[in-house]
Structure 1
Amino acid sequence: MSVKSFAAKIFASVIRRKINKWASNPHETQEKVFKELIEKASKTKFGLDHGFDQVANHEDFVKRVPVRDYEELREYVDLMVAGKEDILWPGKPLYYAKTSGTTSGAKYIPLTKESMPTHINAARNAILCYIHDSGKSKFVDGKMIFLQGSPELSEKNGVKLGRLSGIVAHYVPGYLQKNRMPSWETNCIDDWEQKVDAIVEETVKEDMSVISGIPSWVQMYFERLMDKTGKKVGEIFPNFDLFIYGGVNYEPYRTKFEKLIGRKVDSIELYPASEGFFAFQDKQDEKGMLLQLDSGIFYEFIKADEFFDENPKRLVLKDVEVGVNYVMIISTTAGLWAYNLGDTIQFTSTSPYRVMVSGRIKHFISAFGEHVIAKEVEEALQVAVSKTNASISEFTVAPQINPEDGELPFHEWFIEFEKEPEDLNSFASLIDKAMQEQNSYYLDLIEGNILQRLKIKKMPQNSFQEYMKSIGKLGGQNKLPRLSNNRDIADKLYKII
């Protein structure tokens, strides 16, 4: 065992004890975070506008601070971007994480001197918890690759801005710098396909032990490695033992990845976003990710099926239940207040609090009142894959409201297969049965002859990559929505094929 590997085990033990301390006192931890947030921001413009000096508890906060999304908070963000200080948080941000906006161009998510370390520490702690939980630390001596956005930053009124993953690249600790790949020059390549080719050239002869990124883009990297060498990834990198991912559910990819690698490898799931690093998988044998309660983030939760009501109840941690779909609302040391992240989560445990991402509040299908969410379609597809010899590369689902020839409406599944099932009709039946078992609304619509059984549209190889490229979102942190309540994506896919 190397000195670095031995030291990692000791450090992992220390960090695990610290995590256990706040995880075992969740409500006191969140109450402390809440009070510190309100006190710190009481003299900011937002704090003065919302009477933070009169906020003593959560009930006061609910009365004074409505739930907002980015567009509703934008008047404050625009003042910050214009160079004003003490707007949402004391002083100026350290950075803006620039992301794609849905209605009005780019979004600028503030990162402050208080919030930035929580992103770095959570990623580090995820790996340390894995070391403590598994006893494995040899991988720290090998090379590690993090598929991410360009670390090149621009500046706006004295504040640097870039993609979150590019900003984080500036905070890689010194003891990992010699192990980290790709090179700075390669990381700065903007064109994703050129970047992947350059990464392949740099890494193909290295001793890669850890690979991290969004599964769909890691898959592209793996495929190009195999194209170049004719070997499986596990042969190219015999010491590759740990895959770290976030952004999307890994389960639909797992079979494909094991085929590309040639064996099973351990994995760690992360839940990062520009707005905060919310959770990570701290146990290999537990479902869900440990919610980060001591990271300067105060959480509220609204039941997803009540979210669009006039005054939905805002719950705190002590009020939540396992298995219920919630919209997660955050207030943070970056100055986001009662902020609707847009994500829906479910708790898999309340002792400690572990969560899984179930979808997006705007990414659902309810064209007929079926209330289908991403978690349901992902699990239904996984059931079908597990019972057949099929494997998939990518998929998305959309409603077909007005089919031809007067037939009943249906859900249309666009699936790019790595390996097609022997019987596509039986495969569709397996998915449909799993959907009916999970979603009683969907079951009622099928049994009531409002909907017919789902249909699958086989997609050509690389068609989803072509779609993402066509909308300028190939690579980086961009993710294909699993489902839509309209035909926008579906119609573009038909044009591609």
Structure 2
Amino acid sequence: MLNFIKKKIALIWAKKHLKETRNFKKNALEDQEKLLISLVKTAEKTLFGRERNFEEIKDIPTFQSQVPVADYEDLKPYIEKIKRGQSNILWPEIPEYFAKTSGTTSGSKYIPISKEGMPFQIAAAQSAIFHYIAEKNNADFVSGKMIFLQGSPELEEINGIKTGRLSGIVAHHIPNYLQKNRLPSLKTNLIEDWETKVDQIVKETEKQNMTLISGIPPWLIMYFEKLIERNGKKITDLFPNLQLIITGGVNFEPYREKMNDLLGKKVDTIQTFPASEGFFAFQDDYQKEGLLLLTNHGIFYEFIPLEEYGRSDSAQRRTRLTLKDIELNKDYALILTTNSGLWAYSIGDVVRFISKDPYRILVSGRTKHFTSAFGEHVIAFEVEEAMKATVEKFPAQITEFHLAPQVNPAEGLPYHEWFIEFEKEPENLDDFRKNLDEELRKRNTYYDDLIAGNVLQPLIITKLKKNAFQDYAKSEGKLGGQNKIPRLANDRKIGDFLENFKSEHP
């Protein structure tokens, strides 16, 4: 009876929520401009607001002229002031949290999350679930156990600001009605070593009635593989009531084939787009690709055409578009202004709009993750779509892959080298390779021209041993949590490491 009541209440909440959210889908343009002016007004008296003359900003063009696009290095001096205990720097008072993330040029990054920003992170996740319940008219999963594969919830303090991984911070904000059903235990969640943690999660969950599982695809796969290894059963045989998988962090599509194989049968999936800087989008239509952009969640969005973002001339000359200006099926660098004090901040993600009514996006890559050693500027979306199309044609399963340029081969023309860890190899690897090359040529005309002009030879595949990518992540101290391995690069740093894990089988 209790489970029946919980499901009934969840359905009522979900349908009420869906009615409440219809307006933001219709009023995105108006909401965005009002939001920006509100954010500027709120931060007028901060150090950043005084430096940028926020009191003069009454519209979007003035904001764009007075607030340049910034990356973490640009905002770092302000972040350092906040870390030293100063208040009213980027946003009134001090942040409620710092989300600590792994950086490259900057070392660890400390992304501020204000007391106004944190509720939107939680509300977006709840909204994703409510949309699913209302659309499917099914809330059965609320009666079972749920697991969120996440970082440690243990937080440190920097001058009164709680600091940790975003997923660990979010763990402190799980609604009470989900707490009793939530796994793993706090003791297990506090384990820092990811492999040890996953082993313990397996032990805690293998006999439970798991109905919802959430995490980044590669780490879900690692968890599923360990469960299967211990129990000799597909996941849906082990968890017959598993209803829903929630993923985020990376494009799910390249993992779908392998995930379905591990699961044993189809399980509903919600794809999301969260980050330390905000929760931007989630899947609200389960029959189509694309994520609903959250335009009323404390974030003002701008978009720079990707071909301009990479220019070497003045950053001030880049075109900064708002939602009313965007075109469908074009790649844009995503720029954020948030209610946590990030101003015209380049997060490093690339998005592509596939709908304007409502605004739906695909995450098509990273501004720093591309291959253009020969001028081709291949992005993640193109290689992921090429791989997806090839895997569908050839019965094969991919654990993970990485593309790196080979500029100076020992002999012959340069080429793209694809390092692939297969779960299930295609019967004819050379046919697979040729098809993959053709699919990439279809998606990138510059690459097609280079092949046709004999500047490059068709791509070469290097097969890798099992767990090669896990070993790479471990070597970088990035195994588990929200860490992601780049699908492609413009150098051979990752490729040279993976060379050590070539499969011995031809």
**TM-score band w.r.t. shorter chain:** over 0.9
For the Cα contact (< 8 Å) 1:466–1:496, is it kept in 2? no
- Counterpart CA distance in 1 for 2:22 and 2:80 is 39
Q: CA deviation at 1:495?
A: 3.1
Instruction: Decide which of 448, 453, 461 is 1:448's aligned counterpart.
Output: 453
SS at structure 1 position matched to 2:370: coil
For the Cα contact (< 8 Å) 1:233–1:260, is it kept in 2? yes
- Counterpart CA distance in 2 for 1:263 and 1:60 is 54
Taking only the aligned residue pairs, the percentage that are identical comes to 54
For the Cα contact (< 8 Å) 2:33–2:60, is it kept in 1? no
- Counterpart of 2:407, as a letter, is I
Does residue 30 of the first structure (1) align with residue 32 of the second (2)?
yes
Instruction: Decide which of 456, 464, 479 is 1:459's aligned counterpart.
Output: 464
Deviations 1:142-163 (A, max 9, x none): 1110000000000011111000
SS at structure 2 position matched to 1:344: strand
- Counterpart CA distance in 1 for 2:394 and 2:482 is 31
SS at structure 1 position matched to 2:490: coil
Q: CA deviation at 1:283?
A: 1.4
**What is the number of residues matched between the two proteins?**
496
* Alignment of structure 1 residues 247-258 onto 2, 5 Å: 247-258=249-260
The match for 1:391 is 397
Deviations 1:198-244 (A, max 9, x none): 00000000000011000000101000001110111110000012110
Instruction: Decide which of 394, 403, 406 is 2:409's aligned counterpart.
Output: 403
For the Cα contact (< 8 Å) 2:464–2:501, is it kept in 1? no
* Alignment of structure 1 residues 104-119 onto 2, 5 Å: 104-119=106-121
Q: CA deviation at 1:249?
A: 1.1
The match for 1:276 is 278
Deviations 1:294-323 (A, max 9, x none): 111000000000113331110010000110
- Counterpart CA distance in 2 for 1:443 and 1:106 is 38
Deviations 1:131-180 (A, max 9, x none): 11111211111111000000000001111100000000000111001111
The match for 1:192 is 194
The match for 1:49 is 51
The match for 2:96 is 94
Q: CA deviation at 1:286?
A: 2.8
SS at structure 2 position matched to 1:359: strand
For the aligned residues, what is the CA RMSD? 0.8
Question: Normalization by structure 2: what TM-score?
Answer: 0.97
- Counterpart CA distance in 2 for 1:155 and 1:367 is 43
- Counterpart of 1:156, as a letter, is I
The match for 2:327 is 321
For the Cα contact (< 8 Å) 1:366–1:372, is it kept in 2? yes
* Alignment of structure 1 residues 409-488 onto 2, 5 Å: 409-488=414-493
Deviations 1:342-374 (A, max 9, x none): 000000101000111000011001111111000
Q: CA deviation at 1:104?
A: 2.8
SS at structure 2 position matched to 1:404: coil
- Counterpart of 1:260, as a letter, is L
Deviations 1:416-473 (A, max 9, x none): 0000001110001111111111111111111000111001000000111011111111
- Counterpart of 1:333, as a letter, is N
- The runs of 5 or more residues in structure 2 that have no matched partner are none
- Counterpart CA distance in 2 for 1:92 and 1:281 is 33
- Counterpart CA distance in 2 for 1:131 and 1:29 is 26
- Counterpart CA distance in 2 for 1:32 and 1:117 is 19
- Counterpart of 1:273, as a letter, is A
The match for 1:312 is 318
- Counterpart of 2:424, as a letter, is K
* Alignment of structure 1 residues 332-411 onto 2, 5 Å: 332-405=338-411, 407-411=412-416
Q: Which moved more, 1:249-258 or 1:418-427?
A: 249-258
- Counterpart CA distance in 2 for 1:343 and 1:288 is 15
Instruction: Decide which of 483, 494, 497 is 2:499's aligned counterpart.
Output: 494
Q: CA deviation at 1:7?
A: 0.8
The match for 1:153 is 155
- Counterpart CA distance in 1 for 2:166 and 2:184 is 17
- Counterpart CA distance in 2 for 1:250 and 1:148 is 17
- Counterpart CA distance in 1 for 2:377 and 2:204 is 46
For the Cα contact (< 8 Å) 1:149–1:187, is it kept in 2? yes
- Counterpart of 2:386, as a letter, is A
- Counterpart of 1:263, as a letter, is K
SS at structure 2 position matched to 1:96: strand
For the Cα contact (< 8 Å) 1:467–1:496, is it kept in 2? no
- Counterpart CA distance in 1 for 2:6 and 2:123 is 18
- Counterpart CA distance in 2 for 1:59 and 1:31 is 11
For the Cα contact (< 8 Å) 2:37–2:57, is it kept in 1? no
- Counterpart CA distance in 2 for 1:28 and 1:431 is 43
For the Cα contact (< 8 Å) 1:145–1:182, is it kept in 2? yes
- Counterpart CA distance in 1 for 2:229 and 2:17 is 41
SS at structure 2 position matched to 1:397: strand
Question: Normalization by structure 1: what TM-score?
Answer: 0.99
SS at structure 2 position matched to 1:201: helix
Deviations 1:317-338 (A, max 9, x none): 0000110000010000010000
SS at structure 2 position matched to 1:91: coil
SS at structure 1 position matched to 2:296: coil
- Runs of 4+ in structure 1 displaced over 6 angstroms? none
Q: CA deviation at 1:496?
A: 4.3
For the Cα contact (< 8 Å) 1:41–1:47, is it kept in 2? yes
Does residue 243 of the first structure (1) align with residue 245 of the second (2)?
yes
SS at structure 1 position matched to 2:320: coil
